[in-house]
Amino acid sequence: MDNSLLEGGTVLRITRWGEPVMHQPTAPITEFDDDLRQLIRDMFATMYAADGVGLAATQVGVSKAVFIYDCPDENDVRQRGVFCNPTVTLPEGRDRNLEGAEEGCLSLPGGFQSLHRPDRATCTGQDETGAEIEVVGTGLLARCLQHETDHLNGMVFGDRLAGRGRKLLYRQHESLAHRYPDDWPVTPKTTSAVPQPEAEPKA
């Protein structure tokens, strides 16, 4: 990834669950141009302002198949990059190992629930120039690659939870929603005496 994409971005409002763009499949990236590069810059600026580890274009209101990430793998090695038009392949049979962990989403701030996902994921697609790329994710990175690709397919992680877990997730979010202004993270979240649950970083 071109490191210049980490600079020059504008912090944008993060889209919330329930807004139509979050629940519809995205359009493929066909033009790898300056407009795409500026979108990626803005996404990095927004993700860092929100203390996230991944962000899909739908989370800034853009229905295009691109996501970014800055996330550690199972060895705590920081991985950073851009995926356009991603496809995730998951292990099958004996190679498939499900790992349960608390998962959250920047588009439903304050809510966390345990979700089982495969602990290894292979993501293929294109970088910001259109070059073919492949990343094998482990640990939190595997979860991040799956979570962000879900976003681009119109799915939020709450869709993968059973009814009770989904209700608890929304209840957690509602109890802390007052901390997050409507244009967050353009306007930072407010301080509060209400503790947040311990959980993995959000994407």
Note the pLDDT tens digit of each residue in 156-175.
999 999 999 999 999 999 99
> 201 near 109, Cβ under 8 Å?
no
Number of structural domains, the chain? Answer: 1
Task: Go through 148-184 and write b for each residue having 16 or more CB atoms within 10 A of its CB, e for each that does not.
Answer: bbbbbebebbbebbeeeebeebbebbeebeebbeeeb
Enter the tokens of residue 21: 């763009």
Return the CATH number at 28: 3.90.45.10
Q: Which residues of the chain have pLDDT under 70?
A: 192-202
Note the pLDDT tens digit of each residue in 124-155.
999 999 999 999 999 999 999 999 999 999 99
Residue 195 inside a domain? The answer is no
Predicted TM-score (pTM) of the model is: 0.92
What was the pLDDT predicted at 193? Answer: 52
Element (H, E) at 14: none
Determine the Cα–Cα distance for residues 163 and 186; give it in Å rounded to an integer: 32
What was the pLDDT predicted at 80? Answer: 98
What was the pLDDT predicted at 191? Answer: 83
Residue 187 inside a domain? The answer is no
Catalytic residues: 148
Those residues whose C-beta lies under 8 Å from the C-beta of residue 160, and which sit 6 or more positions away, are 115, 150
Amino acid at 17: W
Residue 40 inside a domain? The answer is yes
Residue 118 inside a domain? The answer is yes
Domain around 40: 3-179
What was the pLDDT predicted at 203? Answer: 73
